A and B are shown apart, each in its own frame.
Chain A
Amino acid sequence: MIGDILDLVGAVLLLLGSLFCLAAAVGVVRFPDVLTRLHAATKPQVFGLTLILTGVALTLRTWPVAVLAAFTIGLQILTAPVSGHMLARTAYRTDQWDDQHAVMDELGDDLEAAGFTNITDEEGGSTAARHPLG
């Protein structure tokens, strides 16, 4: 009986993780530029994975599975922010983001104060269209 309830809880956690994946996919399709898509896409990498692996551990109920799930979750918590940061930094440095609709750009202000001016900004258009291959 308690095993059935744990199976049910595991399935509910799997459903929640799947909904996170669906939300990320919808956000990746509908958001306008790389940074906002990245914002949507990095959610299931940590939290969705945590939910699903917790569901797997609750369903299988053995110690090796629980340890391996905890190890995977910890590793993903360590690595996912790094990969997201690398992608966002590349998007910023190669000017492939929508700086016309950005609410604030503190790094841009600091760069201007340090003497770096992006001359393509004066044309009033994003240069993302010029990088078809990235």
Chain B
Amino acid sequence: MLDTITFGLVAVSSVILVVAAMLALYRLAIGPTGLDRGVASDVVLAVMIAGIGAHAIATGTSVGLIVILVLSLVGFTTAVGLARLITGASARERRFLEAEARAAHEARQRVERERAEREGSVRERAERELAEQAGEHPGGEGSA
């Protein structure tokens, strides 16, 4: 009786692990950045560790324990190495993007300043003309 329940629980765990691995592989496939893929591969590694644990429980053998130890260390070195790789690889690219963004920002500011000056001069000229017309026809608006 208890054996049957135990076997059922291990089977349900295996199905859950397959679903989890498929979800993590989906994120590994579509992940927009390299860090997303690194996080997803960590989840895949955790699912693999859980699967080896399920194998050890189902078969009653202890050889998987060494593999679990090695896989946990591989996950650590993978995450740290990936993090350092991404930081180093994008340092130059980040400087380039910052310079580009700064140039675009200054160009946009210059365009807005020129437009503001132009609109300002247009408005000044219009106001001056209105004032001149009002000066030529004093009381024109008041009598209308």
Interface residues of A (CB under 8 A from B): 4-5, 7-8, 10-12, 14-15, 17-19, 21-22, 24-26, 28-29, 34, 37-38, 41-42, 44-45, 48-49, 52-53, 55-56, 59-60, 62, 64-65, 68-69, 71-72, 75-76, 79-80, 82-84, 86-87, 89-91, 93-96, 118-120, 122-123, 127-134
Contacts of B6 in A (CB 8 A): 4, 7-8, 10-11
Indicate whether B134 reaches chain A with its CB closer than 8 angstroms.
no
Is B35 a contact of A96 with CB atoms below 8 Å? yes
How far apart are the CA atoms of A52 and B13 in the complex, in Å?
A: 11
CA distance A104 to B25 in the complex (A): 31
Main secondary structure of the interface of A (DSSP, over half): helix
A56, A80, A83, A93: which contacts B53 (Cβ < 8 A)? A56
Tell me which of B44-52, B119-127, B136-144 binds A.
B44-52
Residue of A nearest to B37 (CB): A134
Q: How far is the CB of A19 from chain B (nearest CB, A)?
A: 6
Is B54 touching A25 in the complex (CB atoms < 8 A)?
A: no
Beyond A52-B49, A52-B54, A130-B97, list 14 extra A-B contacts (CB 8 Å).
A7-B2, A14-B13, A14-B53, A17-B13, A18-B16, A26-B20, A41-B42, A45-B75, A49-B72, A75-B73, A82-B80, A83-B42, A94-B86, A119-B101
Contact indicator A75/B27 (Cβ below 8 Å) = no
Q: Which residues of B contact A (CB under 8 A)?
A: 2-3, 5-7, 9-10, 12-14, 16-17, 19-24, 26-27, 32-40, 42-43, 46-47, 49-50, 53-54, 56-57, 60, 62, 64-66, 68-69, 72-73, 75-76, 79-80, 82-84, 86-87, 89-90, 93-94, 97-98, 101-102, 104-105
